[in-house]
Amino acid sequence: MKKLRVGIIGGGISGTALGYHLSLYGNAEVVLFEKNAIGCGTTSKSAGTVCLFDDSLRNRYWDVRLYGFESYLKMEREEKGSTGFDKTGTLVAVTSEEVEATVETGIALAKAAGYQGEYITDKDRIKKILPLIDVENILGAGYTQDDGYFDGTMISNTYARKMQQKGGVVYTMTPVVEIVVSGGKAAGVKTAGGTMHLFDRVVDCTGPWSRFTGKMAGLDVPIWHTKAEAFFLSPPGKKLNYVFPVLKYPAFYALRAGDNIFICKSHLSMDLDNPMHAGQWDPDKLPATGGTDDYFIEFLFEQMQKSVPGLVASGLVSSWLSYRAEPRDFLPLLGETPIDGYILATGYGGNGIIEAPAASRDLAKFIMRGESTPLLEDWAFKRLWGKERS
């Protein structure tokens, strides 16, 4: 049987999930190149929430959300600790009638799939779940108890290991420095040191770096970097003596991180035309910690004042800055490009942990069998051909 040689650039959640899904096909020969360590890029800075519902991904993509959540649950069942799952549940504050409708549908979908979910309007009950919340300015809250957050780096490493068990090859500390294009077709990659690797397909899974790797193939990849500024707060009293759920508001979200609280401005509230929110930068210049702007912590404290006043007296323990890779319409960029054989799986923005399993499952099918799916059509890079200027 003739094998299809597929080279993947990038070992974050996108590259490793794709590598794993490709390795399930007997005629795939998969090689993944990561310039550093597996899961060390955006994936390592992620909150990793995979909630059964929230406003970060439209209900239209419910099956994407469910496949992501259940893939990780299965991984965790097969090997305890392989995904870093923390089952805290999720509380979504309902701030308007519009949000209410979305939440009610989301809860109905979660329940139909066999999970616990309820829309709560009894304010005392909401307070029991999260004592620090202000219930005056909300209509109610959606609550799912079976979900929570995962560790994207652990999942990436688990996917990479599973891919290797199926015969895939993973090179770490191996930057791709050139995408070899011959006669308008991607023919392989060159790694630092000059080694050439020939492929039938090259898939770019480098997230915020895809602006740079895209140029190696002669393509302007139309993504913007939104600043993901995460702050770790030490709550009043220092210890959380209850289960702090993933808390979602339209403008920000919070979750527990040990005894601290991780808090971040939501990705859909970022304005790509506001230079404080977004731009086109070099992810290699990001510091490991710190690097945050006063603007974001001030914004978040203002939000907390209104919504979770019990958190305002928290101490700031640490913070970090990362870049999410966002296309203009905040949906991923998948599939074929004008360069034959050069395929993109980037632009996952603030939802890559949720979306990577389903998107990779479909993309692997397309690469191996040439079959598209409605999801791939929705998120096709093709939707932007000729429309974007970088």
Ligand X SMILES: Cc1cc2nc3c(=O)[nH]c(=O)nc-3n(C[C@H](O)[C@H](O)[C@H](O)COP(=O)(O)OP(=O)(O)OC[C@H]3O[C@@H](n4cnc5c(N)ncnc54)[C@H](O)[C@@H]3O)c2cc1C
Q: Binding residues for ligand X, per CB under 6 A?
A: 9-15, 33-36, 40-43, 45-49, 152, 175-176, 205-209, 213, 228, 230, 264, 322, 324, 346, 348-354
Please check whether residue 169 is in contact with residue 189, taking contact to mean a CB–CB distance below 8 angstroms: no
State the nearest-atom distance from the C-beta of 46 to ligand X, in Å. Answer: 3
Kindly tell me which of 49 and 314 has the beta carbon lying closer to ligand X: 49
Tokens linked to 146: 């079976």
Tokens linked to 333: 């960029």
Please check whether residue 384 is in contact with residue 373, taking contact to mean a CB–CB distance below 8 angstroms: no
Please give the helix or strand (H or E) that residue 180 lies within, else none: strand 176-182
Residues pairing with 257 in the sheet: 260
Kindly tell me which of 49 and 82 has the beta carbon lying closer to ligand X: 49
Please check whether residue 144 is in contact with residue 89, taking contact to mean a CB–CB distance below 8 angstroms: yes
364, exposed or middle or buried, with CB in 10 Å at 0-12, 13-18, 19+?
A: buried
State the nearest-atom distance from the C-beta of 237 to ligand X, in Å. Answer: 25
State the nearest-atom distance from the C-beta of 346 to ligand X, in Å. Answer: 6
Tokens linked to 273: 């035309």
Burial 190-213 (b: 16+ CB within 10 A, else e): bbeeeeebebbbbbbbbbbbbbeb
Tokens linked to 233: 């707060």
State the nearest-atom distance from the C-beta of 226 to ligand X, in Å. Answer: 9
Kindly tell me which of 143 and 348 has the beta carbon lying closer to ligand X: 348
Q: How many other CB atoms are found less than 10 A from the CB of residue 371?
A: 10
Kindly tell me which of 26 and 169 has the beta carbon lying closer to ligand X: 169
State the nearest-atom distance from the C-beta of 228 to ligand X, in Å. Answer: 3
Kindly tell me which of 175 and 310 has the beta carbon lying closer to ligand X: 175
State the nearest-atom distance from the C-beta of 78 to ligand X, in Å. Answer: 21
Q: How many other CB atoms are found less than 10 A from the CB of residue 258?
A: 11
CA–CA dist 148, 86 (Å, integer) = 6
Kindly tell me which of 326 and 336 has the beta carbon lying closer to ligand X: 326
Kindly tell me which of 102 and 157 has the beta carbon lying closer to ligand X: 157
State the nearest-atom distance from the C-beta of 173 to ligand X, in Å. Answer: 9
Kindly tell me which of 17 and 304 has the beta carbon lying closer to ligand X: 17
State the nearest-atom distance from the C-beta of 203 to ligand X, in Å. Answer: 11
Residue ranges of alpha helices (H) inside 245-310 are: 294-307
Kindly tell me which of 14 and 386 has the beta carbon lying closer to ligand X: 14
Residue with tokens 């319409």: 329
Amino acid identity at 113: A
Angle CA 23–19–179, to nearest 5: 120
State the nearest-atom distance from the C-beta of 143 to ligand X, in Å. Answer: 18
Amino acid identity at 273: D
